Structure 1
Amino acid sequence: MTRTLAEWLAYQESTHPRDIALGLDRVRAVWEAMGAPRPAPIVLTVGGTNGKGSTVALLEGMLRAAGYRTGCYTSPHLLRYNERIRIDGNDVSDEALVASFERIEAARGAIPQTYFEFGTLAAIDLIARASVDVAILEVGLGGRLDAVNIVDADVAVVTTVDLDHQDWLGNDRDSIGREKAGIARGGRPVIVGELAPPQGLLDALRRIGADIVRAGEAFWAQSANASTAGEWSWGHRDGTAITLPLPALAAPVQLANAATALAAIHALGTRVDVSPSALRTALLDVRVSGRLQRIGDRPLTLVDVGHNPQAARALAAWLDARPSSGRVLAVYGALADKDVAGVVEAMGARIDRWFIAGLDRDTPRGLAADALAATLAAVLPAAPASTYADVGTAWAAAREAADENDTVLLFGSFFVAAAALSRAM
């Protein structure tokens, strides 16, 4: 009997004893049993700690504005599993996913697959069947042993490297950088989007023999000055230079993501033709759910998926740069494997009041509100805070406490963002 999409997803959670089991042997064997389809003539792989989803969306927007058909794979999703796979800008249907899962099940035999491996194989399968021009694949965790790495990318991108997923990737930036370097291939470009990447990343890329295209050295972005408000310039060591509008995506970090995406397009050389007009269109049009997404006014209400210290520092920089006379009220929830203390320390006194939301009802990995509040109190003993069982009740309390000139920021996890966006629809 044919399973529904919901039934397939529930089934996939039972086919492997662990949620995360890094390694390529299982997923490669099934991929090869399916004929080892290459998702597209051109493949871009995007890894890194933060900025992956925005960079994928910017690449997709730039290429589509130039007339290319794209296939994208990202994770996790916010509201619907279908968001993970986009063909020419559209989420795939339930029917397409079910048909792909049936093909994967027939090919895998007795080979166990994790939930993420099923999804990665489905993305490769569906994108390949759509006959797109360019595939853009986001790495889920790390790089070297992530399922996406069964595909050899024409251009690899490493956006940033910071502490996250330490249980699997290592406890310092060098170790994590070495893992993320694994998506690069010898003799092919790898875009390093961070101005100060860890040495471990650079050393590993050199051992692989990749062509390192590094921000601040091979390409750069210059922000607007008083006479060119709303614009920025991008330059490359080969003499290419272009003036562009600032990204519609909020937060200063999005300029770095845009510059990195442009560097990846540039690295493809004559294989694609993306005009300045297409770049401008993409920068002005691309939006990404859950990235400083505005969902309300008076009080200004924003949703962000930032869940680690690096993302929190980016949020803090945005708060510091914005003109505002009101308070910042934070609805914050987190997963148990995240560096909560690092996030709280990064946000610091910028948050006038914390509304702590439990996520333990949403996922086994979620922190209960009391445990999260205890960490907050240890890092910021004087911080005003109250606890709530879930995001909905925490947000209701924040709305009740907010004045019209305040800002309500819901952040800390994709689960927080999903709960907020589902209620805002």
Structure 2
Amino acid sequence: MTQYIPSQSSSLDDWLCYLEGIHPTNIEMGLTRVTAVAEKMGLLSLKSKIILIAGTNGKGTTARCLEALLLAQNFTVGTYASPHLIKYNERVRLNGQQLDDHYHVAAFAALEKGRGDISMTYFEFGTLGALEIFRHTEPDFILLEVGLGGRLDATNIVTPIASVITTIDLDHKEYLGDTRELVGFEKAGIFRGVTPAIVGDLAIPASILNHGKAIGANLCLAQQDFNLSQNESGYLWQSGDNKIRFSQPAIPAQNVSTALATLNQLGLLPTESVVQAQLSRLKVEGRFEILSQAPFVVVDVAHNPESAAYLALKLNAYKEQGYEINALVGMLKDKDQPAALKHLIPIVDGWRVATLTGPRGADADFMVQILTELGVQTLQKFASVAIALDNEQITTNKQLLIVFGSFYTVADAISYWRNKEEA
């Protein structure tokens, strides 16, 4: 049977279905295929200045902060991020806005024609699709979020003017290794010689430092070259003689600090008033995002130990105000569920678990077993996030429901809430 190949007149959904099935595996690390196609398509010599952003957590929020602060200085900015929550269009932004379907369709059609017989994964196709869009729109800056690791990630084919590592934690251990040193080495693969290499992690693995020094990267390190301190009135960021004060942002303050250090290295540090103004309105979908005030429902994509620990801190602030914290969690089978969930055990008063569909999704019985082994005695299980939300009963204004554990969990919750509001 001849495989259907979409055309320039096909829908974006048709293209995405096609891309999901053209490569034997969803993930295949390596730069050979994607580099060959990029060279054929002229995507390795873009006019835009590119900033690469890697890290276990914080890539999206750091990129969003950089995007806002560059736009505030009247630069044009293209941003590539993954994964998306609801629509593929979330992955590519131009000046902070998602693009219409036809941009992606045109890019995919060009790549399909130009790749010849070279096979690419869904993510590789998407990465080159973003670069193809940016080749035509020519933004001043391109912010590229690394998908997995760094050294062998498809985004690492470009020549950046700066490379950023946000944080290091254990995730995707089957690809990146099971120690912070191994993960750090993979992330450090985005560094280039004689180029700013900014690291926001507060306990930087030696593998990052050693690799950066070995290739002659211009290292800029948290707690050495830039610092962030907190007091009753907010935060103070400092690098040399440069100081910027800002209030509690909606994103992790350390990611703001890393973004500021990056702009400082590039000679683009905004004024304190610009930083404060942009942070006051900065929000990132799925990161402690409030879906409803009454009932009080919050979603967060936390799915690994580091992000779960940060979520616990956020929730504890509400617990100290007298809130009862209820949690609805759904996770993927290939994550370290116990290491992540243990941070929430002391904070959460009531647990609900939901089955995530798909080959990687963990079912509710599996999650019940994990939580039971962690000492949780009372919990409810549901066949889906939607069914769990249908059965949720928040009876007082001092109850908070946090829905977390995966991008898929959060996407299901957002879709449920949007459908509820539209009904």
Normalising by the residue count of structure 2, what TM-score does the alignment of the two structures yield?
0.94
Unaligned runs of 5+ in 2: 1-6, 419-423
Note the 1:175-186 alignment, pairs <5 A: 175-186=182-193
Report the residue type matching 1:233 in the other structure: L
Distance in 2, Cα, partners of 1:273 & 1:171 = 36
Question: Residues 184-229 of structure 1, C-alpha deviation per residue, up to 9 Å, x if partnerless?
Answer: 101111111011122222222222221111111100112133xxx2
Q: Closer, same or farther in 2 for the Cα pair 1:12/1:326, shift >3 Å?
A: same
Note the 1:147-162 alignment, pairs <5 A: 147-162=154-169
Note the 1:185-334 alignment, pairs <5 A: 185-225=192-232, 229=233, 231-237=234-240, 239-247=241-249, 249-250=250-251, 254-269=252-267, 272=268, 274-322=270-318, 323-334=320-331
1:68 is the counterpart of 2:75: yes
Q: Shift of residue 331 of structure 1?
A: 0.6
Aligned to 1:171: 178
Q: Closer, same or farther in 2 for the Cα pair 1:273/1:172, shift >3 Å?
A: closer
Report the residue type matching 1:405 in the other structure: K
Q: Shift of residue 298 of structure 1?
A: 3.5
Distance in 1, Cα, partners of 2:415 & 2:396 = 23
Unaligned runs of 5+ in 1: none
Q: What secondary structure sits across from 2:57 in the alignment?
A: coil
Note the 1:404-415 alignment, pairs <5 A: 404-415=397-408
Distance in 1, Cα, partners of 2:223 & 2:132 = 37
2:347 to 347, 350, 356: 350
Contact 1:220 1:235 in 2 (8 A): yes
Distance in 1, Cα, partners of 2:160 & 2:303 = 28
Question: Residues 89-130 of structure 1, C-alpha deviation per residue, up to 9 Å, x if partnerless?
Answer: 111111010000001001111110100001000111111211
Q: Shift of residue 276 of structure 1?
A: 3.0
Q: Shift of residue 243 of structure 1?
A: 2.2
Contact 2:44 2:158 in 1 (8 A): no
Identity %: 38
Aligned to 2:64: 57
Q: How many residues get paired?
A: 410
Contact 1:71 1:132 in 2 (8 A): yes
Aligned to 2:332: 335
Distance in 2, Cα, partners of 1:65 & 1:109 = 41
1:135 to 142, 149, 167: 142
Report the residue type matching 2:291 in the other structure: I
Aligned to 1:5: 12
Report the residue type matching 2:405 in the other structure: G
Distance in 2, Cα, partners of 1:81 & 1:134 = 21
Distance in 1, Cα, partners of 2:42 & 2:136 = 12
Note the 1:383-398 alignment, pairs <5 A: 383-397=377-391
Q: What secondary structure sits across from 1:400 in the alignment?
A: coil
Distance in 1, Cα, partners of 2:377 & 2:93 = 42
Contact 1:16 1:112 in 2 (8 A): yes
Q: What secondary structure sits across from 1:13 in the alignment?
A: helix
Report the residue type matching 2:410 in the other structure: A
Report the residue type matching 1:415 in the other structure: Y
Contact 1:39 1:125 in 2 (8 A): no
1:418 is the counterpart of 2:411: yes
1:89 to 79, 96, 111: 96
Contact 2:43 2:132 in 1 (8 A): no
Q: What secondary structure sits across from 2:327 in the alignment?
A: strand
Distance in 1, Cα, partners of 2:395 & 2:215 = 53
Q: What secondary structure sits across from 1:234 in the alignment?
A: strand
Aligned to 2:360: 365
Q: What secondary structure sits across from 1:349 in the alignment?
A: coil
Contact 1:40 1:127 in 2 (8 A): no
Q: What secondary structure sits across from 1:185 in the alignment?
A: coil
Contact 1:40 1:135 in 2 (8 A): no
Question: Residues 314-347 of structure 1, C-alpha deviation per residue, up to 9 Å, x if partnerless?
Answer: 0111122334213111010001111111111121
Q: What secondary structure sits across from 1:176 in the alignment?
A: helix
Contact 1:161 1:176 in 2 (8 A): yes
Give the alignment's Cα RMSD to 1 decimal: 1.4
Q: What secondary structure sits across from 1:296 in the alignment?
A: strand
Distance in 1, Cα, partners of 2:257 & 2:269 = 17
Range that drifts further, 335-344 or 314-323: 314-323
Distance in 2, Cα, partners of 1:38 & 1:299 = 51
